[in-house]
Amino acid sequence: MTGDVAELPLTDEKKNLLTRRGFLLGSSAAVAGMAFYAGEIARHELSVITQTIAIERLPEAFEGMRIAQMSDIHFEEFTEPTFVARAIDYVNALKPDMAVLTGDFVSLGPLGRDFAEGAIYRCLDHLRELKCPAYGCMGNHDSILGAPVLKPIFARYGIPLLMNANLPIERLGQRLWLCGVGDYKTEKPDLDLTIPARPDGPVLLMCHAPDYADVVVAHPRGPLVDFMISGHTHGGQVRIPLLPPMHLPEGGQKYVEGLFRFGRMQLYVNKGIGTVGLPFRLNCPPEITLFTLKRA
């Protein structure tokens, strides 16, 4: 028997099946596209944020001082060496007077301690290319190696790692004090050791976890701190419009990103360079911050 076969009309059940299939295929393609964008494009869209910090008793010699901040590098888990090198090129192009590196140079996992120990050397091989003096503090992920291991390694690369310690930064006979507190998750922070009792100049405090600001301002030496510089939160890392951040770490759930003021003390929270958990960023680009100090 020959001839054309008439097309049979689709039943409602078949129409629904095709509609569901089309929806699932479209949704899968959208998710895959979003994952590609977040993992390969947004994760590498480096931003430079400029911020003027007014300090009441800033000595004249430090008027206009420029300080670059890098944080949360998480080297090679998942931050590629080429991306770190590009970030350092950005910093050098800004020509800062000083750089502060506020912790989480490596990651706690999943690759383990042996990988992290190699990664810290490779990370510092890049950071030694900074064309200004650099100073660091530990983050919670750096505890996979620990302070006794990290401190001499950083010293070998000429980058002081300040943990419950301070040092004076001098210009034309005037001073400001740079401090670094021990990470609250992995060490015992000691503000009595960190903040000088009678500083003869402004006090800048590196502290990886920003929520520790509440402890600082309540401490007897808290009123001596002019500016606290933090990271840790990654700004939430993945920010879906109209929704809160998908994940914020302990110690970084209250002050997530940007500038905050606590009376005299100001706090800045940097969104970091790298990622943890998954190599994704969305509406939350990696950040280098450039601070310019001025007299209030």
Q: Which tops the pLDDT comparison, 125 or 37? A: 125
In a domain, 87, yes or no: yes
Asked if the model's pLDDT at residue 19 lies above 70, the reply is no
In a domain, 28, yes or no: no
Q: Provide mean pLDDT across the span 262-267.
A: 96
In a domain, 223, yes or no: yes
Q: Which tops the pLDDT comparison, 88 or 24? A: 88
Q: Provide mean pLDDT across the span 159-175.
A: 97
User: CA 267 to CA 53: how far, in whole Å?
Assistant: 10
Instruction: Note down the domain range covering 248.
Output: 45-295
Helical H segments across the chain, by residue range: 12-36, 81-94, 113-127, 147-156, 191-194, 213-218
User: CA 239 to CA 32: how far, in whole Å?
Assistant: 17
In a domain, 232, yes or no: yes
Round the average pLDDT of the chain to a whole number and report it. 91
B/e letters for 41-57, b = 16+ CB within 10 Å, e = fewer, are ebbbeeeebeeebebee
Give residue 61's pLDDT: 98
Q: Are 269 and 255 in contact (CB under 8 A)?
A: yes
Asked if the model's pLDDT at residue 189 lies above 70, the reply is yes
**Neighbouring residues of 150: CB distance < 8 A, sequence distance ≥ 6:** 120, 138, 142, 161
Q: Give how far Cα 165 sits from Cα of 90, 127, 229, Å.
A: 29, 21, 15
Give residue 35's pLDDT: 55
Give residue 117's pLDDT: 96
Give residue 30's pLDDT: 47
Asked if the model's pLDDT at residue 105 lies above 70, the reply is yes
For the domain that residue 204 is a member of, what is the CATH number?
3.60.21.10
In a domain, 217, yes or no: yes
Question: Tokens in use for 124?
Answer: 């510092």
In a domain, 69, yes or no: yes
* Counted domains in the chain: 1
Write the pLDDT tens digit of every residue in 45-66: 999 999 999 999 999 999 999 9
In a domain, 2, yes or no: no
pTM of the full predicted structure?
Answer: 0.89
Q: Provide mean pLDDT across the span 26-37.
A: 54
Asked if the model's pLDDT at residue 24 lies above 50, the reply is no
Question: Tokens in use for 106?
Answer: 């490596």
In a domain, 10, yes or no: no
User: CA 163 to CA 27: how far, in whole Å?
Assistant: 48
Q: Which tops the pLDDT comparison, 93 or 22? A: 93
